[in-house]
């Protein structure tokens, strides 16, 4: 792989950029691999990457029915934070966040991780107590957060109105090393690195069946023929349920639409990420200048990648109340993604009833921020059969009643 | 923005009048049930990309629960019916068979 | 230079001059101008700078597809960034500023990036800025952020003074687009009797017809087209079931016939506080998208210089505003339509430099006419370079089929280009309509057999006219008519008797696709041919994306940012897709398009928020006593939809002092609480007890009329969700109290089970929360206060603890519950809501000599904690079961079933290692920090500090003069007396002992007094 650098750009510029190589290859599948990962989104690609990097397993194929990074990896609002309340969540999200810190250098691909700070507004006394609890928990979890005063909120976010008529800002939970990254670049960077290790990323390849022998996975059937494997990772977000059915087990998942929108670009006016959970809205400003806005999810099953307008309306209204200067800006584009929600709204990273088959799904509205940590833990789980990072997220928890419930601290999880 | 006909009051209800309630025709598992059955009752959902039988409440209308048969891939609605039943009415089953001839099984689960 | 001609301009009123300012210069235009036409009339060809390279840019288009001419409009509270000059109607005093330049439009330091463009190709930022690591946040990113972001940001404290509103409408047929096809559809559907709404985004009817199709010289039913439009509108105006609105854009098509339209009511009539935008929420049976077509630019080297304009826009400026794009314009085309631009310019006396037609095939009628007109036509030609730095000064002509070898130079000051037309398929596509590739016209057009489908599964979006690929006047009129008839007929309106309109038929020579000019252009020319003008995406960028493996159209879009600018690729998408397909050696339809998402053009956030802002934003529910609280200057806190008094500070008393005073007054004498917000749900019927036995963990069916019982409600997943006192009113009737925040969802929860699980049980429920005012009279003097009001016997035996009675209290019909959430002697009195304030004031008067005073939610919380009562939301958080809280006494032992029972039998729920409720007493009497965790020794398997409990509530108790707290602790009740450490976020470590959670009057003598 040719390394990327400013020097390389200058060198290629002399050749009018005709000399750049493909960022990833596009091979035909081999008959079998040690590991097959289904789903070339951020989580699938990161799983493959850490299988190679941490465990030397590089005979890996990543199968993608569409185009890599084309699912929720490329549709989210790019927020990265780890200020979660429950220990297992804080652990995996903080692992992810800390990996994001050096991801650009590790991948030799600028994913533009920008630790500009994430602020979660407390707008009721109940929320103040909730975030004070989170701050205490985070201190013991090794996650750097702090509960800050309204005046500090205003300093960090000059466009905010503290004394809104409905919900005044009473403070905020502040994670200074939270932030954002460029979502597509995360998928592309991992894909390039996986390809460089000799792994096969096979796009336009839909899995149509899962093969097993004597209770153990032996391969998959795909639109490009049968592919054998020793271990199989299902990392397909909202489509995991369909895959699980092929493998003969069920998952506690429901797929619903989540929407986001951006404004037209303007010069920088808000450096930090602000989340207002009481009124279900969150906002950051992208490097391009767009205000990136997300809100709540629909409550009904939906695979259309289109959501209902009233959610957009409620979110925008809440944000106009919170940031009155938004009123004369314009919405440029809205879109939807399909998120897979579990019974406790926390992800599943687990062995399955089918030996050799592992599943990583159920990230709901919070998957992007977890990608490196999720891949790290999933790779360890697939390589060694267990991982401290993923232990609490096993399928068994639904039977035992051992939930990882974050709704405690936040109305929306984003 | 869905619009569903409430079978109680006859109104074509806008989505903003309605509260979704998840998969319909689940059978409640009580204190006698096995762990597996209870887990399944609480958490396992069919979540199909296709025909889905689901509960809705006309929350900002007559307040009644009803069931809709709806395609989650196209949002086509095959019909709505009263919640007081453990399986979909035959006319809706027939309509689904007609509209989705390739679909296997036409029952609620 | 662009200039206003002596005559012409059907939109402008030359008798009404208007002055406006652009970048500080005072300029003149006419009423009827757009900002763009007025700028062109003043020879302002340079109007903005591009996003990435800060290249000088001029006006390209005449409508909402404009990528370049974006301005900051007005100042201060009225400031709006990124306003398109082409759709801004000029008004007197308009103030505009150009964007993305510093210090000025003509001298922009940012333009240095243009010099460096060679090293700033598509996606360069993914390959660099990698080291040193800290530089991304502190150096590179701030630099990028400053240079990006097109428009100026509004003032952070700006407050929009204008108004917005929403409007709801149900129609049979919604027609988007007031061009000839849409008008024809409206006529057909309207004549058939359907309820029709016809909307048009601009201020004028007729769309492109009066400027296109032989320069507007064609006719319908032998009537000149502009006159025909007027006649149609007049007829539509006579139909009461047809509405027509201009300045109203179809913004988005959602599912099940839901369409959003955006009406710019006041943009052209500014005035503070005026109604500015109206958002229409329309449910329609059928939608006809008659949104026309958008002309494509041609990708030739230098095509982004100011002075290069779409040929159709040049016609619009000429016909509508009497503005010529230049004195010696050149026309560049691959199809017939652009010839009209040359002819119209010539008719107005403008000297057309040449018509360069890239086609080599048989020349059609227009080419013949051009020759007859004495115009120079260069067939098979192309442009390989454009002279000029800030505006067009000339071009180099080459062979379109070659590599750009110069054939000759032609002097010109503007270029009108046309690369063909693409139907505006956005609305067709929004909710799932599919497209098909038209290999004759080289465009994507609606696949009429694959429309979006409605709730009934039937297709409900119909494309008509140019939006459906019917580009000629004759075809568009015919198609519009058919669409209107079809829509009406599908909804049961029969309009078949109407005669079909007939328009002039003109034969056109075939278009020949030109995706890059010249076709064999080397990379050095491809680097100068722009696809996306605003985002500076060039042909070479898309080819680079293909080379690097970004093969999917979505990858290429995201990698190059093609089509991601504020015009959302209206001009660039098809050209970009063609270049990508060519680079990958695959046919265009195989590449496909990116997804079309709402809105069609950007809409204001103000309009989305509508009128439900300020005091109308999430309206506050008010108790019957709310006015009184406000008059007293209470400090409020939001609780659910309510706002409850937190405390009632007197004078300059602090909140904590007020809370302490309220508690001591209540504990020592008597206090009053407005408890009206508590949920009150009546459950009635022969099976009411049976239902409540399932809903509550305890047994309610054995409760005697006249008695009250505390109940817990769990979810089916076992977790505690609500608590409250249930009173049995009679054999068949129970009144269930819920928490303030819980009333609505608990009522819904009851109805859920009743309607969908036990529907054969004979029970009704009713949520009566707002029907009653409820006042708690609390404290040792409470009975005396009540008795002073007279009318009811409230003696210890007449109304014992946990009993209730009804009667007339001070002449008011009242129900009195003897229940206590404070541990004091306490009564809660429910009266009809409209008598609440009267009773409240009577209590205040009756208790005056006891110093009776109201207390707020904080005093309520402290007193319940002193007594060890749990609070839903404090001790519970959705992960806590009643057994964790020592509430086993409230779970009926012998009951077979209740909601949540099975869940509480799962292995993790019966684990003896669960954290359980205890009281916490700091060793030094201080107050434990809320939410603090008790640490255990060592670290967990995931590297975190081990914990063994947490604080759920913590207060300073004025009663006890020390800190008190409750918490959940690992095996807590078994470890009474143990001392735990709670590290605070303030750096201190707090030590506390495990004690009983009941700190105050554990014997219960006070409440039972």
B76 touching A (Cβ < 8 Å)? no
Amino acid B109: pLDDT? 39
The pair of three-digit structure tokens given for residue B84, joined into one six-digit string: 């007081």
> For residues A297 and A341, is the Cβ–Cβ distance under 8 A?
yes
Q: How far apart are the first and last CA of chain A?
A: 36
**In sequence order, which residues have a C-beta less than 8 Å from that of residue C957 and are 6 or more positions away?**
C862, C865, C866, C963, C964, C999, C1000
CB-count exposure of residue C74 (10 Å: 0-12, 13-18, 19+):
middle
Q: What confidence tier does C146 reach under pLDDT thresholds 50, 70, 90?
A: confident
Give the separation between CA C311 and CA C415, rounded to whole angstroms: 8
The domain boundary residue, chosen from A313, A342, A371:
A342
CB-count exposure of residue C961 (10 Å: 0-12, 13-18, 19+):
exposed
Domain-located, residue C830: yes
The domain boundary residue, chosen from A298, A314, A342:
A342
CA distances to A187, C381, C398, C404, C534 from C385, in Å: 39, 13, 9, 9, 20
* Residues of chain C neighbouring A104 (CB-CB closer than 8 A): 130, 133, 136
The domain boundary residue, chosen from C863, C894, C918:
C863
pLDDT tens for C829-866 read: 999 999 999 999 999 999 999 999 999 999 999 999 99
A396: closest chain B residue by CA: B39
- CATH of residue C374's domain is 3.50.50.60
Q: What confidence tier does A408 reach under pLDDT thresholds 50, 70, 90?
A: low
DSSP A209-264: EEEEETTEEEEEEETTEEEEEEEEEE--GGGHHHHHHHHT----EEEEEEEEEEEP
Domain-located, residue C375: yes
Question: What total of structural domains would you count in chain A?
Answer: 2
Give the separation between CA A202 and CA C703, rounded to whole angstroms: 67
Q: Tell me the nearest-neighbour CA distance from A274 into chain C, angstroms.
A: 15
* C367 and C327 within one domain: yes
* A328 and A291 within one domain: yes
Q: Tell me the nearest-neighbour CA distance from C904 into chain B, angstroms.
A: 9
* C791 and C672 within one domain: yes
Residue range C681-697: mean pLDDT, rounded: 98
DSSP state for residue A290 in the 8-state scheme = P
* C259 and C177 within one domain: yes
Q: What confidence tier does B105 reach under pLDDT thresholds 50, 70, 90?
A: low
Sign, Cα dihedral of C364, C366, C372, C378: negative
Query: Is there a contact between C128 and A110 if contact means CB atoms under 8 Å apart?
Result: yes
Residue range A6-33: mean pLDDT, rounded: 95
The domain boundary residue, chosen from C809, C843, C863:
C863
The pair of three-digit structure tokens given for residue A232, joined into one six-digit string: 């199989």
Domain-located, residue C580: yes
* Residues of chain B neighbouring C901 (CB-CB closer than 8 A): 30-31
- Give the residue numbers spanning the domain of C561: 529-606
A409 pLDDT exceeds 70?
no
* C284 and C176 within one domain: yes
Give the separation between CA C3 and CA C5, rounded to whole angstroms: 6
Residue range C361-389: mean pLDDT, rounded: 94
pLDDT tens for A54-95 read: 999 999 999 999 999 999 999 999 999 999 999 999 999 999
What is the spatial order of strands in the sheet that C95-98 belongs to? C25-31, C13-22, C95-98, C70-73, C80-84
* C778 and C654 within one domain: yes
- CATH of residue A218's domain is 3.50.50.60
Query: Is there a contact between C457 and B76 if contact means CB atoms under 8 Å apart?
Result: yes
* A331 and A260 within one domain: yes
* Cβ atoms within 10 Å, residue A273: 27
Q: What confidence tier does C103 reach under pLDDT thresholds 50, 70, 90?
A: confident
* A349 and A312 within one domain: no
Single pTM value for the model: 0.96
Superfamily of B3-24+32-99 according to CATH: Folate-binding superfamily (3.30.2270.10)
Amino acid A164: pLDDT? 85
Query: Is there a contact between A309 and B72 if contact means CB atoms under 8 Å apart?
Result: no
Q: Which of C439, C451, C503 shows the shortest CA–CA distance to C476?
A: C503
Give the separation between CA C230 and CA C313, rounded to whole angstroms: 22
What is the spatial order of strands in the sheet that A330-342 belongs to? A146-148, A171-175, A118-122, A273-276, A281-285, A291-301, A253-263, A330-342, C603-604
Give the separation between CA C896 and CA B31, rounded to whole angstroms: 7
* A242 and A273 within one domain: no
C559 touching A (Cβ < 8 Å)? yes
* C787 and C753 within one domain: no
* A154 and A264 within one domain: yes
- For helices C553-560 and A183-196, the axis angle rounded to 10 degrees is 110
- Give the residue numbers spanning the domain of A389: 25-78+183-252+344-400
Q: Degrees (nearest 5) of the Cα angle B83, B87, B89?
A: 85
Give the separation between CA C163 and CA C523, rounded to whole angstroms: 52
* C384 and C458 within one domain: no
| Strands C163-176 and C196-199, bridge-based pairing | parallel
Query: Is there a contact between A343 and B54 if contact means CB atoms under 8 Å apart?
Result: no
* A322 and A187 within one domain: no
**In sequence order, which residues have a C-beta less than 8 Å from that of residue C248 and are 6 or more positions away?**
C199, C200, C201, C261, C262, C263, C264, C280
Query: Is there a contact between A287 and C148 if contact means CB atoms under 8 Å apart?
Result: yes
* Cβ atoms within 10 Å, residue C361: 12
- CATH of residue C738's domain is 3.30.70.1400
Residue range C610-639: mean pLDDT, rounded: 94
Q: Tell me the nearest-neighbour CA distance from C939 into chain A, angstroms.
A: 10
The gap from C-alpha A53 to its chain's centroid, in whole angstroms, comes to 20
pLDDT tens for C73-86 read: 999 999 999 999 99
In 3-state terms, what secondary structure has residue C50?
coil
| Strands B77-82 and B65-71, bridge-based pairing | antiparallel
Domain-located, residue A213: yes
C260 touching A (Cβ < 8 Å)? yes
**In sequence order, which residues have a C-beta less than 8 Å from that of residue C106 and are 6 or more positions away?**
C46, C390
Give the separation between CA C40 and CA A167, rounded to whole angstroms: 48
Convert C871-884 into a string of H (helix), E (strand) and C (coil): CCCCCCCCCCCHHH
* C637 and C601 within one domain: no
Q: Tell me the nearest-neighbour CA distance from C694 into chain B, angstroms.
A: 11
Q: What confidence tier does C211 reach under pLDDT thresholds 50, 70, 90?
A: confident
Phi, psi angles (nearest 5°) of residue C639: -135, 110
C906: closest chain A residue by CA: A400
Domain-located, residue A102: no
- For helices C553-560 and C539-547, the axis angle rounded to 10 degrees is 120
Of all residues in chain A, what percent carry a pLDDT higher than 70?
A: 98
Query: Is there a contact between C148 and A158 if contact means CB atoms under 8 Å apart?
Result: no
Q: Tell me the nearest-neighbour CA distance from B96 into chain A, angstroms.
A: 18
| Strands A179-180 and A171-175, bridge-based pairing | unpaired
The domain boundary residue, chosen from C419, C440, C459:
C419
| Strands C979-983 and C989-995, bridge-based pairing | antiparallel
pLDDT tens for C772-818 read: 999 999 999 999 999 999 999 999 999 999 999 999 999 999 999 99
* A311 and A163 within one domain: yes
Of the listed ranges A222-231, A286-295, C105-114, C677-686, the least confidently predicted one is: C105-114
The domain boundary residue, chosen from A319, A342, A365:
A342
Interface of C with A in 10-39 (CB under 8 A): none
C433: closest chain B residue by CA: B74
Average pLDDT, chain C: 96
Q: Which of C606, C620, C942 sits opposite A389 (nearest CB)?
A: C942
* Residues of chain C neighbouring B38 (CB-CB closer than 8 A): 902-903, 906
Q: Which of B2, B31, B99 sits opposite C457 (nearest CB)?
A: B99
Q: Tell me the nearest-neighbour CA distance from B91 into chain A, angstroms.
A: 23
* A128 and A155 within one domain: yes
Query: Is there a contact between A303 and B39 if contact means CB atoms under 8 Å apart?
Result: no
C167 pLDDT exceeds 60?
yes
What does chain A come to in residues?
Answer: 414
pLDDT tens for C223-239 read: 999 999 999 999 999 99
């Amino acid at each position: 792989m040719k390394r990327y650098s400013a020097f390389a750009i200058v060198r290629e510029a002399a050749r009018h950029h005709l000399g750049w190589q493909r960022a990833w290859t596009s091979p035909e599948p081999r008959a079998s691999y040690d590991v097959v990962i289904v789903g070339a989104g951020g989580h699938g690609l990161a799983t493959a990457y850490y299988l190679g990097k941490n465990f030397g397993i590089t005979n890996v194929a990543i199968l993608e029915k569409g185009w890599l990074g084309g699912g929720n990896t490329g549709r989210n609002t790019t927020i990265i934070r780890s200020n979660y309340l429950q220990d297992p969540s804080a652990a995996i999200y903080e692992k992810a966040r800390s990996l994001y810190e050096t991801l650009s250098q590790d991948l030799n691909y600028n994913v533009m991780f920008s630790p500009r700070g994430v602020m979660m507004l407390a707008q009721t006394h109940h929320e103040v107590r909730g975030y004070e609890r989170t701050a205490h928990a985070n201190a013991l979890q090794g996650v750097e957060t702090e509960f800050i005063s309204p005046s500090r909120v205003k300093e960090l976010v000059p466009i905010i109105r503290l004394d809104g008529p409905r919900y005044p800002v009473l403070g905020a939970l502040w994670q200074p090393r939270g932030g954002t990254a460029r979502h597509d670049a995360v998928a592309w960077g991992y894909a390039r690195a996986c390809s460089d290790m000799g792994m096969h990323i096979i796009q336009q390849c839909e899995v149509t069946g899962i093969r097993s022998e004597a209770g153990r996975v032996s391969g998959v059937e795909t639109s490009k023929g049968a592919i054998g494997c020793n271990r199989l990772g299902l990392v397909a977000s909202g489509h995991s349920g369909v895959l699980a059915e092929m493998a003969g087990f069920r998952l506690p998942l429901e797929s619903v639409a989540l929407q986001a929108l951006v404004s037209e670009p303007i010069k920088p006016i808000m450096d930090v990420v602000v989340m207002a959970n009481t009124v279900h809205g969150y906002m950051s400003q992208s490097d391009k200048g767009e205000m990136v806005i997300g809100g709540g999810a629909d409550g009904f099953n939906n695979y259309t990648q289109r959501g209902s307008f009233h959610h957009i309306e409620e979110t925008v209204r809440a944000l106009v109340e919170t940031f009155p200067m938004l009123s004369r800006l314009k919405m440029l584009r809205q879109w939807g993604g399909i998120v897979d929600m579990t019974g406790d709204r926390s992800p599943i990273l687990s062995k399955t009833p089918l030996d050799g088959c592992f599943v990583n799904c159920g990230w709901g509205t919070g998957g992007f921020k977890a990608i490196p940590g999720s891949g790290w833990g999933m790779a360890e789980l697939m390589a060694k059969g267990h991982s401290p990072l993923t232990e609490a997220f096993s399928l068994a928890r639904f039977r035992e009643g051992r939930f990882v419930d974050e709704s405690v601290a936040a109305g929306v999880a984003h | 923005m869905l619009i569903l006909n409430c079978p109680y009051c006859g109104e074509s209800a806008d989505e903003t009048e309605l509260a979704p309630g998840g998969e319909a025709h689940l059978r409640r598992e009580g204190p006698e049930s096995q762990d597996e059955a209870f887990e399944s009752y609480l958490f396992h959902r069919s979540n199909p990309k296709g025909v889905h039988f689901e509960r809705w409440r006309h929350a900002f209308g007559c307040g009644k629960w009803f069931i809709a048969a709806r395609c989650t891939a196209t949002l086509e609605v095959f019909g709505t019916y009263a919640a007081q039943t453990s399986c979909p009415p035959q006319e809706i089953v027939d309509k689904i068979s007609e509209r989705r001839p390739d679909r296997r099984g036409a029952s609620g689960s | 230079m662009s200039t206003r001609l002596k005559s012409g301009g059907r939109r402008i009123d030359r008798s009404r001059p208007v002055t406006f300012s652009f970048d500080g210069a005072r300029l003149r235009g006419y009423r009827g101008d757009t900002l763009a036409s007025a700028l062109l009339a003043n020879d302002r060809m340079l109007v903005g700078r591009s996003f990435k390279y800060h290249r000088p840019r001029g006006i390209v288009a005449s409508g909402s597809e404009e990528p370049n001419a974006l301005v900051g409009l007005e100042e201060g509270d009225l400031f709006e960034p990124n306003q398109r000059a082409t759709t801004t109607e000029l008004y007197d005093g308009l103030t505009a500023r150009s964007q993305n330049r510093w210090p000025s439009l003509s001298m922009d330091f940012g333009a240095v990036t243009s010099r460096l463009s060679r090293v700033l190709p598509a996606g360069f930022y993914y390959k660099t800025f990698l080291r040193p690591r800290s530089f991304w946040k502190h150096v590179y990113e701030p630099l990028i952020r400053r240079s990006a972001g097109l428009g100026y940001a509004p003032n952070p404290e700006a407050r929009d003074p204008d108004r917005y509103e929403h409007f709801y409408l149900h129609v049979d047929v919604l027609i988007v687009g007031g061009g000839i096809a849409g008008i024809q559809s409206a006529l057909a559907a309207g004549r058939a009797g359907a309820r029709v709404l016809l909307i048009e985004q601009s201020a004028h009817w007729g769309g492109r017809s009066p400027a296109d199709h032989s320069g507007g010289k064609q006719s319908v039913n032998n009537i000149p087209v502009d006159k025909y439009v007027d006649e149609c509108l007049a007829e539509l105006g006579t139909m009461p079931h047809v509405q027509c609105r201009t300045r109203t854009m179809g913004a988005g098509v959602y599912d099940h016939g839901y369409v959003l339209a955006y009406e710019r009511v006041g943009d052209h009539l500014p005035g503070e506080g005026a109604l500015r935008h109206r958002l229409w929420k329309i449910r329609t049976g059928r939608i006809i998208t008659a949104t026309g077509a958008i002309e494509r630019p041609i990708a030739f080297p230098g095509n982004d210089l100011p002075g290069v304009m779409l040929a159709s826009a040049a016609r619009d400026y000429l016909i509508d505003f009497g503005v010529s794009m230049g004195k010696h314009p050149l026309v560049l085309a691959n199809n017939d339509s652009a010839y009209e631009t040359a002819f119209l310019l010539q008719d107005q006396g403008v000297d057309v430099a040449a018509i360069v037609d890239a086609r080599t095939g048989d020349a059609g009628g227009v080419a013949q006419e051009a020759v007859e007109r004495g115009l120079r036509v260069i067939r098979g030609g192309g442009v390989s370079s454009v002279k000029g730095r800030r505006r067009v000064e000339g071009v180099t002509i080459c062979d379109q089929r070659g590599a750009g070898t110069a054939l000759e130079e032609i002097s010109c000051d503007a270029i009108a280009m046309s690369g063909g037309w693409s139907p505006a398929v956005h609305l067709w596509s929004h909710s799932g309509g599919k497209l098909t590739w038209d290999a004759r016209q080289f465009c994507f057009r609606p696949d009429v057999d694959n429309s979006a489908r409605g709730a009934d599964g039937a297709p409900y979006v119909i494309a008509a006219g140019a939006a459906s690929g019917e580009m000629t006047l004759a075809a568009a009129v015919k198609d519009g008519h058919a669409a209107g008839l079809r829509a009406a007929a599908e909804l049961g309106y029969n309009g078949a008797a109407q005669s079909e309109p007939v328009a002039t038929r003109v034969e056109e020579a075939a278009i020949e696709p030109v995706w890059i000019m010249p076709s064999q252009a080397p990379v050095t020319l491809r680097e100068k041919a722009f696809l996306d003008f605003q985002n500076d995406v060039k042909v070479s960028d898309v080819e680079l994306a293909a080379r690097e493996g970004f093969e999917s159209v979505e990858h290429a879009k995201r990698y190059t940012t093609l089509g991601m600018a504020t015009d959302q690729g209206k001009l660039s998408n098809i050209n970009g897709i063609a270049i990508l397909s060519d680079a990958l050696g695959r046919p265009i339809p195989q590449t496909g398009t990116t997804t079309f998402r709402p809105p069609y053009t950007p809409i204001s956030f103000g309009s989305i928020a509508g009128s439900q802002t300020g005091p109308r934003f999430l309206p506050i529910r008010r108790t019957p006593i709310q006015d009184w609280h406000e008059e007293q200057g209470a400090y409020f806190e939001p609780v659910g939809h309510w706002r409850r008094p937190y405390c009632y500070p007197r004078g300059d008393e602090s909140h904590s002092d007020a809370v302490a005073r309220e508690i001591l007054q209540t504990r020592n004498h008597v206090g009053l609480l407005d408890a009206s917000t508590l949920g009150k749900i009546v459950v009635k019927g022969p099976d009411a007890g049976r239902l409540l036995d399932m809903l509550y963990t305890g047994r309610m069916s054995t409760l005697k009329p006249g008695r009250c019982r505390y109940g817990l409600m769990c979810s089916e997943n076992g977790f505690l969700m609500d608590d409250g006192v249930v009173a049995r009113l009679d054999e068949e009737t129970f009144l269930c109290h819920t928490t303030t925040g819980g009333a609505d969802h608990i009522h819904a929860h009851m109805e859920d089970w009743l309607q969908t699980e036990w529907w054969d049980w004979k029970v009704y429920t009713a949520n009566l929360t707002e029907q009653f005012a409820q006042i708690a009279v609390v404290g040792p003097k409470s009975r005396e206060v009540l008795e002073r009001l007279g009318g009811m016997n409230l003696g210890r035996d007449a109304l014992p603890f946990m009993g209730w009675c009804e009667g007339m209290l001070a002449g008011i019909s009242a129900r009195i519950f003897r229940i206590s959430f404070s541990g004091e002697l306490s009564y809660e009195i429910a009266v009809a809501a409209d008598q609440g304030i009267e009773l409240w004031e009577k209590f205040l008067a009756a208790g005056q000599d006891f110093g009776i005073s109201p207390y707020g939610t904080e005093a309520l919380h402290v007193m319940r904690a002193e007594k060890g009562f749990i609070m839903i939301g404090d001790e519970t958080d959705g992960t806590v079961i009643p057994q964790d809280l020592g509430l086993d006494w409230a779970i009926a032992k012998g009951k077979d079933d209740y909601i949540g029972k099975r869940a509480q039998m799962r292995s993790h729920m019966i684990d003896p290692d669960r954290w359980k409720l205890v009281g916490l007493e700091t060793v030094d009497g201080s107050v434990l920090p809320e939410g603090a965790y008790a640490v255990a020794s060592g670290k967990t398997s995931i590297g975190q500090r081990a914990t063994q409990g947490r604080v759920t509530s913590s207060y300073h108790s004025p009663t006890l003069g020390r800190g008190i707290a409750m918490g959940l602790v690992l095996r807590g009740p078994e470890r009474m007396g143990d001392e735990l450490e709670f590290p605070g976020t303030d750096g201190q470590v707090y030590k506390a002992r495990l004690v009983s959670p009941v700190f105050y009057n554990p014997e219960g003598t006070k409440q039972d007094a």
